[in-house]
Structure 1
């Protein structure tokens, strides 16, 4: 029974990891850079939701509906931040040496961290969502209601991104730029604008997930790095460029981490996650659903 409880907890949290990783994979696939500032979008999204709820209620506490009303604010704010980041900074190093793009995005992540520290201090904060009964019990398994809401929210955001890419004109342009930027430009697609929109959409999804993270975990300015690392593991694990792969990878990573934390220790979660990544790359270099990391 304990193992089942850990797996359920892992699946609930893993959906958040997957949602964050989907945005990370989108930038990697379309803009062809590894965005080391992606975790900071999660952090900023969490703070945006936190301060929006504080503005409404006077503190960071409220009903589920009031909290959900802050999600569009976090999504919109992070779209603007991501779009501006690409236009002002990232666009200048696209097509150059990969180490330069890593350095630029790493520098952006440090700058955002320091600005957040100056603005909000290092004190951990969290959003308190009030329920009449905070948890459900199903067949002996305890399911916290807020984790269930966060799980559903992460799945909805991931599905919305998938439908956006498949069903909209802008989504098709993004996929075209991902496959062949030169050919996309020849048929009239504004490649630079499309890349900026991609950055904005990716950051928006991360920001929306960050709002849910703030309800089940503490948020603080230096939290972004761990989510960037986990996104990298999930994207490579599921396959670069695969949204279903990122979803499955996130759910698996969440389950593995909860099992390791429950049966061994939380100190071993990252070590086990990266060890599994190494084993997978040896056995299946393309990931579970991808077309190959080297591509």
Structure 2
């Protein structure tokens, strides 16, 4: 199902985030290196550092030709991939920004992080439209529902909070995890929300009522990323336990484990982020071992 194709090397420090480029075969990575790196999957090689930054980068998010870069110092840079230059700097958060998402139907960007506050930005002129507190502590992850009407927010207190995107009002709280929420993802069909935590559990919540469908002891340590395949009924998770796992998204059965401990190719340390290429042919993984691993899917 998945076979190790190549390992991209060059980062000197842990890598925290990945994003697809505007063109097929282009990806971007960033972490504790103080730079956003462009790679080519066609040549399996380093291309260039597209953007130097002052502090660690915890999140990358691409929307059309824009790449949003969220940093440890609270600054969010907006980099135009066509112009190859920074077109805006978003100043609000005073602590690290851990996640960013666009809401296309509202032409808005939302950001959150260590300050426990969600900020809402206009994509038209990058002005701060609104902000609201979630908790008096870290918010780690965001997810947007398929219809863009609801936002799931995962926090350090182990609670997943659901907000309406229309007015950012809190509509429900999902309790059950015993440690901080570290990963959230809505299913492509819009029928479920998946949450991962430092408790190593993967929870499946049914929509629209968010009833708990299933609890899966998915990993040995924190679940750091959940990514659905673009076209097929499966998804991948990764963890602090150094493993990547492939799951059936209908019955939530485990298909495959990629880990050195299972005698496959794998990462030496925590796997921090996963990404499917838009065509679904490759899974990209990265982590604390400073490696970007490319997996061929067939």
Shorter-chain TM range is under 0.3
Name whichever structure is richer in strand by fraction.
Answer: 2
Tell me which of the two structures has the higher relative contact order, counting C-alpha pairs closer than 8 angstroms and 6 or more residues apart. 1
Q: Which has the larger radius of gyration?
A: 1
Name whichever structure is richer in helix by fraction.
Answer: 1
